[in-house]
Structure 1
Amino acid sequence: MKFSLLMFGGALCVDAAVLGSRASYAVKGKPEGFATGVTGGGKAACQVPSSVAQLTTWLTDNVARCIVIDKEYNFKGTQGKAVENGCRPTSNACPGKGGQDAINLNNWCQPKFAGAGVKTIQVSYDKAGLYGINMGSNKSLIGVGNKGVIRGRGLRIAKAKNIIIQNIHFTEINPQYIWGGDAIATDAGSDLLWVDHCKFSLIGRQMFVAGTGAAGRITLSNNEFDGQTSWSATCDNRHYYAIYLDGSADKVTMKNNYIHHTSGRSPKVGQNTFLHAVNNYWYSNSGHAFDNLAGGKVVAEGNYFQSVATPLLENKGAFFGSPSTSANTACKTGLGHNCQMNTFVSSGKLGGTDTAFISTVKGQPIASVSAASTNIKNLAGVGRI
């Protein structure tokens, strides 16, 4: 940013136009759903970090901050490269033609995880991507227009609370490798997280993952989860590891997100997570959208599924898929409104008729619902706020 500096009687003055532009940097809107009440950096003055190093310092310290991203911050190469043994899992049936190999993180490259046909191979990856930046509490991280990009590294939120991440594009985190790194990950001790109008693309592992410790209250809204990739675990240019919600005591709202060109985990839900998935748009999913494990509790309403092969892979927990106008009246006990029907075009069916669990969120902040729409794709992601 350029400053116009004037000297009056020995005092250094900043041009009023510059002050006005800085003053305009602020979080826009408020979250709906479970993260209602999050304030992030609050009234802290918004500042633009001068470098990757300063951005890292501001993200990790214990100071309430409003951090403005008005350009690309590239973490690739900041921690060097690793060359070591990894593996080619059984899932990679298209080596050299767009498959995804794996880093041997947590000794994953063994048959019980990587499949009976796993082969040891050498992998070379960027070390910065493997572990996210550990954020401190009370932060607002906001992008300017469509210029705010964090490349090569993600964020980790554990033992940190009251965080807003808005209008940022996270990209290129070792996309060629399973276990290449997550874009945003939460864990035990976190609470009140709002991720809004962000874009996720070319991520090696999860675009968003919550768990396995309690991550508290989360709202994911107006985000674009772009699964288009040249390295696909399912060998079809679609990303498999999109969204995984597996916290031990989490309540998650997903509203107005555009989730496209994925092949699985969009999202996968488990352990003890309550998910309200409302008014999202899934497009071109060659595998499954929802996968509900034991302990997962999901209400899905007002969503639009277009060209989604399997909207729900399995339900080992509790799942309500808003199957009919008569059945949808059950939502009122917990959500305060009758659920809205989902829409399916060139897609499988959702199913899910469990209702007893819905009342467990009675009295908590719940996102509103409207009719399912494809217009979500025109409103979600960076630069559209």
Structure 2
Amino acid sequence: MEKLTLLFTTMFAFILSGEAFFKPRHHKHLPTYVPKTLDEVKNYLCESFEGGECVDTKPAKIIINKVFDFTGSEGMKEELGCYHCTMPAKCLTSGQLKLNVNNQCNGLVPTTVRYSQAGRCGIDVGSNKIIVGENGGGLKGKGLRLRNSHDVEIRNLNITDINPQVIWGGDAIDLINVENVLLDGNYIKNIGRQMVVTHFGNNTGVLMTNNVFDGNTPYSAYCDGAHYWLWLFLGEYDRIAIRNNVIFNTSGRGPHVVASKNSTILVHMLQNVFYDVKDAGLIELGDTRSSILVEGNVFVNVKEVVHINTGNIYMPQNKTDQLQCKNYLGRQCLLNIVVNSGGAKPVNSLTVLQDFKGYKDVLAKPIM
């Protein structure tokens, strides 16, 4: 434990400048709202809709100063689904169940699945919103959905307990064709599916920083108490920075990157701590056109740092790797620290550095 503490201290000793794709907007004299009911939470996050989609662009700050529990608020539902796994036997009690979305239950053991309908779809968030959790405030049983939104900050918010027993039971943060979104200082745990997911469209200027992703769960895809569904990036032109986060007891999708046809995703993973990661490990890059720059991270007890790679990854682990960055980014990359972990053999595609070269002025720059 002392060694692990030392690694954390070393990682966070760097001082960063730059905002890594995200460009902060400094709104002055924002109207501030403090919701008291579930309905007020929804209304303050998005006041106007057209055709079922949020079109609210009014600048506002919303303070969440208590836990709003949406579980059961839109009714409970039972339907025929299935066990995600039935072996070993403990999966019948500690594994996740699955809704039959896209006929995914074909060939699996059927069972009745009961879930809270509120969790299936997140609360719509408009543009120009700052959402701040205070005094442990947060959302329970329902996440957030940003669709065609821009300039949104979500800070210090707890998002927990969204149908954790059910795959397809709901996501914590759902991003669809967004621009300039900051996720900072949040705590996420016990989610049925993705903790963060980007959907189709361009999700640009997305910065995830200082968050805690807690994978401890009573229900898990691999029946081992570790959350599998961490981050899934599916956009057509995603530009995402993941910086200074702590992730533990997960078992896959850290991240899972699968771009749409004829599109590219760029992900910058900088100075995060990953520990006690099981089964499918972390990085699953399933797209030949996408690139992930992995630098300055700490990997401790990770089964596989890179689980799947059919794209481009640059993950410096020696001085030569560091210096190569300077030719493209104008600075040395940070070394990754790998302790008691597998799947971390040198992975260095210069395509990554070439892809990031055009963004070198907006990437986070560590001060050495």
TM-score with structure 2 setting the length: 0.86
SS in 1 for 2:229: coil
Q: Does 1:209 align with 2:203?
A: no
- Could you say what the CA RMSD is over the residues aligned between the two structures, in angstroms? 1.9
**In 2: Cα distance, 1:167 partner to 1:106 partner:** 35
Structure 1 range deviating more: 57-66 or 195-204: 57-66
CA shift digits 1:192-245 (9 cap, x unpaired): 000000010000000011123221120000000000001011111000001112
Equivalent position of 2:284 in the other structure: 291
Displacement of 1:60 = 1.5
Q: Residues 103 and 359 (structure 1 numbering): CA distance in 2 closer, same or farther, change over 3 Å? A: same
The answer to whether the 8 Å contact 1:162/1:191 transfers is yes
For 2:272, which of 254, 266, 280 is the aligned residue? Answer: 280
Q: Does 1:123 align with 2:113?
A: yes
For 2:96, which of 94, 100, 105 is the aligned residue? Answer: 100
Equivalent position of 2:232 in the other structure: 244
Q: Does 1:327 align with 2:338?
A: no
**In 1: Cα distance, 2:86 partner to 2:209 partner:** 31
**In 2: Cα distance, 1:72 partner to 1:210 partner:** 25
Q: Percent identity?
A: 30
Q: Does 1:134 align with 2:124?
A: yes
Equivalent position of 2:134 in the other structure: 144
Query: In terms of Rg, which structure is larger?
Result: 1
Q: 1:243-262 counterparts in 2 under 5 A? A: 243-262=231-250
For 2:23, which of 27, 36, 50 is the aligned residue? Answer: 36
Displacement of 1:247 = 1.4
CA shift digits 1:127-182 (9 cap, x unpaired): 0000111211110000114x211000011111111100000010000000111100
**In 1: Cα distance, 2:329 partner to 2:210 partner:** 20
Q: Residues 274 and 84 (structure 1 numbering): CA distance in 2 closer, same or farther, change over 3 Å? A: same
Q: Residues 358 and 282 (structure 1 numbering): CA distance in 2 closer, same or farther, change over 3 Å? A: same
Equivalent position of 1:227 in the other structure: 215
The answer to whether the 8 Å contact 1:45/1:66 transfers is yes
Structure 2 letter corresponding to 1:128: A
Equivalent position of 1:60 in the other structure: 46
Aligned residues: 334
SS in 1 for 2:114: strand
The answer to whether the 8 Å contact 1:92/1:234 transfers is no
The answer to whether the 8 Å contact 1:322/1:340 transfers is yes
For 1:195, which of 179, 183, 191 is the aligned residue? Answer: 183
The answer to whether the 8 Å contact 2:72/2:117 transfers is yes
The answer to whether the 8 Å contact 2:18/2:362 transfers is no
The answer to whether the 8 Å contact 1:263/1:289 transfers is yes
Equivalent position of 2:83 in the other structure: 88
Equivalent position of 1:336 in the other structure: 330
CA shift digits 1:102-141 (9 cap, x unpaired): 1123433224xxxxxx111110000000011121111000
TM-score with structure 1 setting the length: 0.82
CA shift digits 1:21-54 (9 cap, x unpaired): xxxxxxxx99721112345x65313221121101
Displacement of 1:347 = 0.8
SS in 2 for 1:310: coil
For 1:164, which of 153, 161, 165 is the aligned residue? Answer: 153
Structure 1 letter corresponding to 2:211: N
